[in-house]
Amino acid sequence: MSVRLHQLATAAGIEVAWRDAAGKMQIVSDDSLRAVLNALELPCGSEAQICESHAAFMEESTTSARPLVTSALNRPILLAGVPGRYRITLESGRVLEGIAVRGKHGIRLPALQEAGYHRVEMNDTVTTIAVAPARAYTLEDAGGGEKLWGLAVQLYSLRRKNGGGIGDFAALSEFARQAGTHGAHAVAISPVHAQFSADVRHYGPYSASNRSALNALYAPLDMADVRGDLIDWPAEATARLQVLRDRFKNFQEHAALVAFRREAGVELELHAVFETLHEVLSANDPAARDFRNWPQEYQNPSNAAVARFAREHEREITFHIWLQYLADQGLAAAKQAALGTGMKIGLITDLAVGTSPAGSHSWTRQDEVLRGLEIGAPPDLFNRKGQSWGITAFSARGLRHKGYAAFIGMLRHALRHAGGVRIDHVMGLTRLWVIPAGLPSVQGAFLRMPMDDLMRLIVLESQRHKAVILGEDLGTVPLGFRKKLDIAGIAGLRVLWFERKGKHFKPPQQWTKTAAAMTTTHDLPSVAGWWQETDIGWHEKLNMLGESSEARKSDRAELWTAFQQSGATAAQRPDGQNGAAAADAACAHLGKAACTLALLPVEDALGLQDQPNLPGTIDEYPNWRRRLPDDSDALFGRRDVAARLAALNNARKS
């Protein structure tokens, strides 16, 4: 063991020791530490290199001025550098001047009593101070004392007449209107991040190309209906993009598109350039689907060759901007459809924890994302090999050096047409399990993130947009993390399957008030599927670890007892084949949750057996491909669906 190596790793934010899911302390091997440090551009091949890297890192951390620092209302502001006369221009326009003093941890400026992004000028240096309010815009703020409920839906699964083979934003508008008519105050949707127009095989919503752009396939488009139960993504993407190209042939730019393009700025331009480069370069070279295999002159967006390419392909770049415009207009219409019914929250978008390392965001923000590292999960009781998700995420050092620009832009994009956002794997705000490229997950390590800065920016943007923030806090949650979320006004998730004391299910009246209640999630069995052991059947078929039928029989008895005790049902427990009865009771049970918001996945509203995604599989299970059985008018017109939603609605009011 190298003491200096451990010191460097700790300084760089790597947790040398960590506690696993069984509560046992684990020590990261020196080989793994070296692999992670090298990926973080901190050479450590020798003791001399370790000392040099440590000295350079500490110098960078303590003396380098940062473009943006965060603070909280009425809290002193700390900056790096040399004290001097300062001038603070508040976002409101008011100016404060004075002389800074040196404090224990840096230059100290007086506390500010106005939230926002403020400009500080001192010693020829300009810094933005992001001052966050005490809490985010909470579910309680949105509800005004009312216990709200909403529906969660996989956007692609929706159907509409003349809607083609996937759900789009027009289908979302229809769904939102129906949901609001039945009393819902929110519609939570799956991620709508941009994918790869030139690689139609790529469709996983949580491994997208760019989280600051939209999936162009969701732009409203009338096409012949496709009646299959499973989506053929390559075929559907190819067909939709061809129709869109045909429409674009006679397209003339108009004022609305010009304004959209100007407002979106360089982020949109570079995404469109990436899409065009991706298509041209990969047309005859499959390896070029990954920009890291492009010719050197195109690998960095700031290269002169990229600017020259953009000038030569202006029409194609405009096509991709037009696609983003159509998608943006469609999502805006869906937002208005939701709010037009009187919803207090409206749409809740989903923000994935990372993006493809070969994608647009990784190309445009190379200094702000992790390179040579993938993120995932450490080994646990259910997956002893751990998980590598094949995606990358933001770099803590990169974000600090660039003033958190990519993170702020991503947040604003997620909230542009939404009343809230669900942050996937919200524990990623405090640490990420990073795995050096080419190594198995067990050789990864936890890398700390600048949680205070990220949380303050989320809180600030939440209040500016008057939008609620949900955090997916499921899995291995660091000690004390949920309390920090609660203090910040970020609502965690309380899922039926996990709300237990020993073998007993907790009464919903005891679930956390400030959280959002759910029967299940896209990664877990639906109520009917769980009751009928559909998930166990899949696990057995694919030789995966999971609960046994014998254990499920006992759990069914426990769950039905919980349903009876909560007042969700007075009926006797149905047999193991009656998933519909279980879904009926679960909806009423969910409605009785103490949580301010209850989100019912549409699969449980419909009593469906199959879950959208089965973690640990790729092609063995039809992940992200299942469609709902009918369009929204027909679904909400079903007697069983109406009864479940009425039971949920009544329970929220009781």
In a domain, residue 503? The reply is no
Q: What is the sign of the dihedral through the CA atoms of 490, 515, 146 and 191?
A: positive
Note the pLDDT of residue 572.
97
pLDDT band at 1, cuts 50/70/90?
low
- With H, G, I as helix, E, B as strand and everything else as coil, classify residue 319: helix
Mean pLDDT for the stretch of residues 73-98:
92
- For residue 501, tell me if it sits in a domain: no
Q: What is the pLDDT of residue 252?
A: 87
Is residue 50, in this structure, part of any structural domain at all?
yes
User: How many other CB atoms sit within 10 Å of the CB of residue 551?
Assistant: 12
Number of domains in the chain: 2
Q: Tokens 């004022």 map to which residue?
A: 255
Q: How far apart are CA 470 and CA 483, in angstroms?
A: 14
Going by C-alpha positions, the residue among 203, 275, 269, 274 that lies closest to residue 245 is 275
- Cα–Cα distance for residue pair 583/17, rounded to 1 Å: 43
Our CA angle for 348, 522, 197, nearest 5°, is: 75
Q: What is the pLDDT of residue 60?
A: 85
Check whether residue 8 and residue 58 sit in a common domain.
Answer: yes
Alpha carbon 450 to chain centroid distance?
17
Sequence letter at residue 510:
Q
pLDDT band at 80 (very low <50, low <70, confident <90, very high): confident
609 or 617, which is more confident = 609
Nearest by Cα to 127 from 167, 87, 162, 180: 87
The pLDDT of 183-204, averaged and rounded, is 97
Percent of the chain with pLDDT over 90: 89
- Domain residues for the domain of 122 are 74-132
38 within a domain of the structure (yes/no):
yes
Sign of CA dihedral 594, 595, 597, 598: negative
113 domain residue, yes or no: yes
Q: Give 236 or 476, the one with higher predicted confidence.
A: 236
Coil/strand/helix, residue 511: coil
What pLDDT does 137 receive? 98
Other CB atoms within 10 A of residue 593 CB:
30
pLDDT at 429 over 80: yes
Q: 484-490 long-range contacts, Cβ below 8 Å, gap at least 24?
A: 484/451, 484/455, 485/426, 486/512, 486/514, 487/135, 488/135, 488/136, 488/455, 488/458, 488/459, 489/135, 489/136, 489/137, 489/138, 489/459, 489/462, 489/514, 490/136, 490/423, 490/426, 490/455, 490/458, 490/459
Pair (98, 128) in one structural domain: yes
Contact 149, 184 (CB under 8 A): yes
The residue with greater pLDDT, 64 or 218, is 218
What is the rounded distance in angstroms from the CA atom of residue 157 to the CA atom of residue 631? Answer: 10
**Do residues 50 and 9 share a domain?**
yes
**Structural Rg of the chain based on CA atoms:** 25
| The pLDDT value given to residue 382 | 61
DSSP letters spanning 461-495: HHHHHT-EEEE---SSPPTTHHHHHHHHT-B-EEE
**97-111, 123-137, 522-536, 625-639: the lowest-pLDDT one:** 97-111
Q: Is residue 554 predicted with pLDDT exceeding 70? A: yes
Rounded distance, CA 366 to CA 369, Å?
6
pLDDT of residue 23: 83
Crossing angle, helix 314-339 and helix 169-181, to 10 degrees? 10
Question: How far is 466 from 460, CA to CA, in rounded Å?
Answer: 10
Axis-axis angle for helices 266-282, 314-339 (nearest 10) = 120
Tokens of 294: 């492009």
Residue 381 has pLDDT above 70, yes or no: no
Task: Read off φ and ψ for residue 19, nearest 5 degrees.
Answer: -100, 125
**List of E strands, 215-358:** 346-351
Domain boundary at 92, 110, 132, which?
Answer: 132
Is residue 401 a part of any domain in this protein?
no
Structure tokens at 474: 């499921």
Which residue type, as a one-letter code, is found at position 413?
A: H
Query: Rounded mean pLDDT of 230-256?
Result: 95
Cα torsion at 539, 544, 546, 550 (round to 10°)?
60
Share of the chain above pLDDT 70, in %: 99
Paired strand residues for 223: 163
Pick from 63, 88, 112: which residue ends a domain? 63
Average pLDDT over residues 531-555: 95
Residue 623's pLDDT band (cuts 50, 70, 90)? very high
Tell me if 638 is assigned to some domain: no
Q: Are 100 and 122 in contact (CB under 8 A)?
A: yes
Residue pLDDT, tens place only, 452-466: 999 999 999 999 999
Return the pLDDT at 639.
Answer: 98
Query: pTM of this prediction?
Result: 0.96
The answer on pLDDT for 66 being more than 80 is: yes
As a whole number, mean pLDDT of residues 88-115 equals: 92
**Same domain as 78, residue 56:** no
User: What are the tens digits of pLDDT across the range 213-242?
Assistant: 999 999 999 999 998 999 999 999 999 999
Name the helix (H) or strand (E) containing 187: strand 186-189
Residue range 479-517, pLDDT digits in tens? 899 999 999 999 999 999 999 999 999 999 999 999 999
Among residues 114, 132, 150, the one where a domain terminates is 132
The alpha carbon of residue 456 and the mean position of all alpha carbons in its chain are separated, in whole angstroms, by 17
**CA-closest candidate to residue 155, choices 139, 142, 145, 170:** 170
pLDDT, mean of residues 512-537? 97
Give the chain's mean pLDDT. 95
Q: What is the mean pLDDT of residues 157-185?
A: 98
Length of the chain: 654
- For Cα atoms 205, 273, 424, give the angle at the middle one, nearest 5 degrees: 20
Tell me whether residue 552 is in a domain: no
Rounded to an integer, the average pLDDT of 128-142 is: 98
